[in-house]
Chains A and B, each alone.
Chain A
């Protein structure tokens, strides 16, 4: 029955309580990956389709491993090798997959709202693994989990998100999620990459890196997504790095134990200097580990209530 499933489409429509519950679940699931047998039988016999219509290594492999650690069966379909190149529409692809009766479809798509569309037409729980420039909710959750673990709570923390805010679904999920949990979010980037309405999501926008980084508890650097940029929004990598990149001098303005985060993959020397990326304040690999735990929690959450 369509509509009776539990989905994870976006953080924007979730309450702070629901987000905290997912983070608590993820905390518990992270223990499973530290055991000798890294698998629990919870989703035995369930089928999870990873439908990735855009390139992804980290998110797709992390969803796949999360499903396997919960004992679910997975089917991976990626855009380049699928019938999409033969002209099939997203809904047709999804309906064909639905004939296999999957319990969960994890979707990454270039268009905002694609997972929402699927949730209205396909009888499976839909998990948004990134839709256009809209949201990337599991990335938002793993960022929040990382901050919560290292900063002992999110409320009242100053989080600076720096980069191409306009094209970033990571930024959008981060802003709405962190704002709901009471963080003070400052977004920063070249004016060409700062949408006019961004502050309505619950953050302050600036093009001044110093203002963004000063006294921050967390600095989250975004990747300059060259594959998404159709026009020149900044003159050169070197100039971007000088004005908006994070180096040791800029980081010194933040709190002494400020966390450095990045959703990966890093353009070393563009948005992030190597000595900062690999430095003692970097929690980038914790983010990767937490991504696995968060995705296990999300699959568990979506599988529940679907009986």
Chain B
């Protein structure tokens, strides 16, 4: 895959380290506010970057409430609507849900909300594990351009983007730093 630096001419920081940590803290507090019973709350991160985000939200909730909600990891590959569109066979990673889904207040966590297709797949995958009491959606960045009638209940930052642009989320756990970048002005293919 081509590097973002080679694909786009312009790079803008949407959230720096401090802003990202504030956004995550705010999201965590909103989750607590809306939860009828914090002990029934469970967070599920959508692989890859939704998982560390969910863990951070769980820590924020633990600090505020003294109860740390369990965190699951969801791999949606087998539920994607474009799983065999490319030539390579997509890698399938395990789904780990160390709690009973049935009856839970679940918050699905992802880094970027874009077309909504990932979340559609995540909802289908989750339903195969049981019937939760409710599912809410928390994302760090909403960049618009939905192709399905879905919205996020909790949004860290809304960024207006054009199609063909890219939002890059870097997380310390995976990328060694915390930052959200907006790449625009694609290079014209020669």
Contacts and interface: CB of A to CB of B under 8 A. Distances in A.
Given A28-B94, A31-B95, A304 B89 contact: yes
A40 B126 CA distance: 11
Interface stretch (B64-72, B80-88, B170-178): B80-88
B187 interface: no
Nearest to A36: B130
B90 interface: yes
A51 to B, nearest CB: 23
B88 A304 contact: yes
B interface bracket (residues with beta carbon within 8 Å of A) = 20 to 34
Interface of B: 75, 78-79, 83-85, 87-95, 124-125, 128-130
Interface string A31-49: 1100111011110000000
B33 to A, nearest CB: 32
A2 interface: no
Interface in A31-82: 31-32, 35-37, 39-42, 70
A35 B128 contact: yes
Given A36-B130, A304-B90, A305-B84, 5 more contacts: A28-B75, A29-B92, A31-B94, A70-B78, A305-B87
A210 to B, nearest CB: 42
A35 B97 CA distance: 11
A29 B91 CA distance: 11
A28 B83 CA distance: 16
Contacts of B93: 28
Contact of B129 (A29, A37, A42, A301): A37
Q: What 9 A-B pairs are tightest by C-beta distance, nearest first?
A: A304-B89, A40-B78, A37-B128, A42-B78, A28-B92, A305-B87, A304-B84, A307-B84, A28-B94
Contacts of A31: 94-95
A305 B83 CA distance: 10
B89 A42 contact: no
Nearest to B80: A42
A31 B87 CA distance: 25
Given A35-B129, A36-B129, A307-B84, A41 B90 contact: no
A213 B75 CA distance: 42
Main secondary structure of the interface of A (DSSP, over half): loop
Most buried by A among B92, B124, B125, B129: B92
A303 interface: yes
Interface string A274-307: 0000000000000000000000000011011111
Nearest to B77: A42
Contact of B85 (A28, A37, A307): A307
A151 interface: no
15 contacts: A28-B75, A31-B95, A35-B129, A37-B128, A39-B128, A40-B125, A42-B83, A301-B89, A303-B84, A304-B84, A304-B90, A305-B87, A305-B89, A306-B84, A307-B85
A301 B90 CA distance: 9
A25 interface: yes
A47 B124 CA distance: 22
B141 to A, nearest CB: 28
Interface string A222-245: 000000000000000000000000
Interface in A1-28: 6, 25, 27-28
Nearest to B127: A37
